Amino acid sequence: MDEHAAQPGASLPAIEFDRVSHRYEGAAAPTLEGITLRVEPGERLGILGPNGAGKTTLVRIALGLLCPTGGSVRIFGKPPAEARQARWIGYVPQRTAAELAFPLRVRQVVAMPTAIGCKPWQRPGASAQEAISQALALTGCEGFADLP
């Protein structure tokens, strides 16, 4: 079997909602109603709106964490649960039950990608430290580096 055959295809939309609706049980009105959208591979989408407008519901439906009460959703032509299982999509939740050692300093957050593959006792090397400093400088955050 061709290992690339199961990969998301460029000819399919990355995300496709067709008349998607959702109503939470007991709610007087639907949270989402008749949402149709198409996001092509490589496109970016911002979801803006006031609290309670349905932004999180829309994302949870796209991830397959919530089922629409009407309409259909496809991620690269597949149902969201299949796309998530194939690791074509994923997410980092807003809140977790994990107890983390916060607050982290800005520099520590910027350094996180440099720690991928390192052992817990290892520290980023000189080239990683330089990359961290450059990232802080490029974003104008040098003055915030040691703040939580």
**What's the burial of 97, exposed, middle or buried (CB within 10 Å: 0-12/13-18/19+)?**
exposed
As a whole number of angstroms, the distance between CA 67 and CA 73 comes to 9
- Structural domains of the chain in order of their starting residue, each with its CATH number: 15-85 (3.40.50.300), 106-144 (no CATH)
Q: Report how far Cα 135 is from the mean position of its chain's Cα atoms.
A: 22
Q: Cβ(64)–Cβ(2) under 8 Å?
A: no
Q: Cβ(122)–Cβ(136) under 8 Å?
A: no
As a whole number of angstroms, the distance between CA 105 and CA 111 comes to 10
3-state secondary structure of 123: coil
Q: Give the residue from 76, 98, 94, 93 showing the smallest Cα distance to 85.
A: 76
Whole-prediction pTM: 0.59
Per-residue pLDDT of the chain (148 residues; tens, 9 = 90+): 344 344 555 589 999 999 999 999 999 999 999 999 999 998 999 999 999 899 999 999 999 999 999 999 999 999 999 998 888 888 877 665 655 666 788 888 888 887 777 777 777 788 888 989 999 999 998 998 888 7
